[in-house]
Chains A and B, each alone.
Chain A
Amino acid sequence: MSSPPTAVSGSSPPASSSAPPPPTAAANRSTPVTKPATPEEKRPARRVPRGVRRVAGPVGLVAVWFLASTTGLLPESVLASPIDVVQRAVDLTGTGELPHAIAASGRRAATGFLIGAVVALALSLAAGLFRLGEDVIDASMGMFRAIPWVGLIPLFIVWFGIDETPKIALVALGVTYPLYFNIYGGIRSADAQLIEAGRMLGLGRIGLIRYVILPSALPGALVGLRYALSTAWLALVFAEQINADAGIGYLMSNAQQYFQTDVIVLCLAVYAVLGLLCDFAVRLLSRRLLAWRASFEGEGE
């Protein structure tokens, strides 16, 4: 608060903002425009490297968690301490349970993602490039999207049983929507002027698709990919609650039966790390594929 010294005693904002008293106006007229800087403003800001700043938040949270656990503020029956979680991670890695579970879950996620991606790509290309495809596909996709895909679990169990199939199907379904809508939107946002220029340059239908329409859709497709990957992990968490006999979800439901909060937290952390890795991969991919695009990187340091 840098409210100017006024005759009004109350420093509540409404009083000073509603009617600036005469002394302020006089001061504004007489004083030079350059306001003397406060000490903080004058001192050159100490630069904390960006990487450190980004890490500070998560590290701080873990520190608070650690302190709360060691002081007994946070009982183990509610949430195990980070030390226990790490210890458990080491143990389970030693026995091979954790790598095995990650492999099983990863396989499910990858298979489901691939199926969903292929379906989404085929549908979005058909709907984006052909009027007939648009009429047939897009309306249906809009309709199906209104159904929360998690709600389909009972139906999938009825259809596919309780093995791998319903789990993979759920991941595939979760992946399909974000990819479809983003690619389709990207294709449809292709600049008509560039298409006209392409035709003028002698590009045929295939050439237009390859050099004008698909590159236009790329930024949208990558956004869709990010959504799709996060949805894939989310779908996996739901899917693995269905009678899993392997995988991270299986570890988790076992732990739930024995109140092992450390294992539950460990599994959540594994989901998080896998999600972050995927996100990182997509970001790298975007940086490579969208190098041509002027993008806004945020202001400040």
Chain B
Amino acid sequence: MHTADSEKSENSVQVHGLSRAFSGTTVIDSLDLTIRQGEFVALLGQSGCGKSTLLKILAGLDGEADGDVSVPERRSAAFQTPRLMPWLRVWRNVVLGLPGTPDRALAGRYLAEVGIEDHAGTWPKTLSGGQAQRVSLARALVREPELLLLDEPFGALDALTRGKAQRLVADLWQRHGCSVLLVTHDVEEALLLADRVLVMDSGRIAYEAEVGLERPRDLGSPEFVRLRGELLDRLGVRDAAARHGGPERQQRQEHQKEATTV
């Protein structure tokens, strides 16, 4: 069902009528999805709504789905945990799986791009969570993907590191011009980064919103707040929406308990 080509069209990803069931339970239900070339799409959804399954199918890690899926040949992924091979040096992790002899200089260039070239020769266990996640990004980028799949890559990072990592991803995307599908459950993250935000529910795309805001985006702009409210509403987290800002702002306010993320 995979047709890995970039069919002269300007679409990077084309999915039509995609379904996937696990032992009788339908996780993805005749889903349609299009991602334009160079577009940054964020996919929101409750836990277990099938968004990670969709990402796996696009990554080619799940061969048991029905439907038409057309994705670029060159695609790579970064996951919630860095998934580095602990027995390989950092630079070796970056170029693992590339054909030919391991090219340390190549690895070094991409490590420099994510800002941790100094750690090229160390073991992954010596890295912090944020550093390891950067290595994971370098490893995805070294393949010069046309489609970059990100599965909650910032989920396990602390707030400060997450902010930096998000800016890094925004920079990298603009520099490389690849299409990005970011799976997340953080509405603000989606709105900060994406051109278009999709909400997945019961196995299909239930809602989508174009984010016409200029970059870099302001968490406090009226349009941002409006979109956030709308998306939270769609996600079923109604009341927290309009009243509060993101994590940073939340800390300054009194109602610290209420979450703006799903």
Contacts and interface: CB of A to CB of B under 8 A. Distances in A.
A211 B59 CA distance: 20
B96 A199 contact: no
A207 interface: yes
Interface in B29-76: 59-61, 76
Contact of B125 (A194, A201, A202, A293): A293
Contacts of A218: 87
A133 interface: no
A197 interface: yes
B144 to A, nearest CB: 13
Given A201-B96, A203-B97, A211 B123 contact: no
Contacts of A200: 59-61, 76-77
A196 interface: yes
A215 B85 CA distance: 9
A282 to B, nearest CB: 18
B98 A197 contact: no
Contact of B123 (A203, A212, A215, A291): A291
Nearest to B124: A292
Contacts of B173: none
B146 to A, nearest CB: 15
Interface string B134-178: 000001000100000000000000000000000000000000000
Interface string A186-211: 00000001101111111100010001
A7 interface: no
A294 interface: yes
A139 B113 CA distance: 51
Contacts of A292: 86-88, 123-125
Contacts of B143: 201-202
Interface in A246-301: 291-294
Contact of B87 (A201, A215, A294): A215
B85 A211 contact: yes
Contacts, number: 49
Interface residues of B, number: 20
A291 B123 CA distance: 9
B6 interface: no
Contacts of B85: 194, 197-198, 211-212, 215
B81 interface: yes
A211 B88 contact: yes
Q: Which of A193, A194, A197 has the most CB of B within 10 A?
A: A197
Nearest to B123: A292
B83 interface: yes
A268 to B, nearest CB: 39
Contacts of A194: 83, 85
The 3 closest A-B CB pairs, nearest first, are: A201-B97, A197-B83, A215-B87
Given A198-B85, A293-B86, 19 more contacts: A193-B83, A194-B85, A197-B83, A198-B96, A200-B61, A201-B96, A202-B98, A202-B143, A203-B96, A203-B97, A211-B88, A215-B87, A215-B88, A291-B123, A292-B86, A292-B87, A292-B123, A292-B124, A294-B125
Interface of A: 193-194, 196-203, 207, 211-212, 215, 218, 291-294
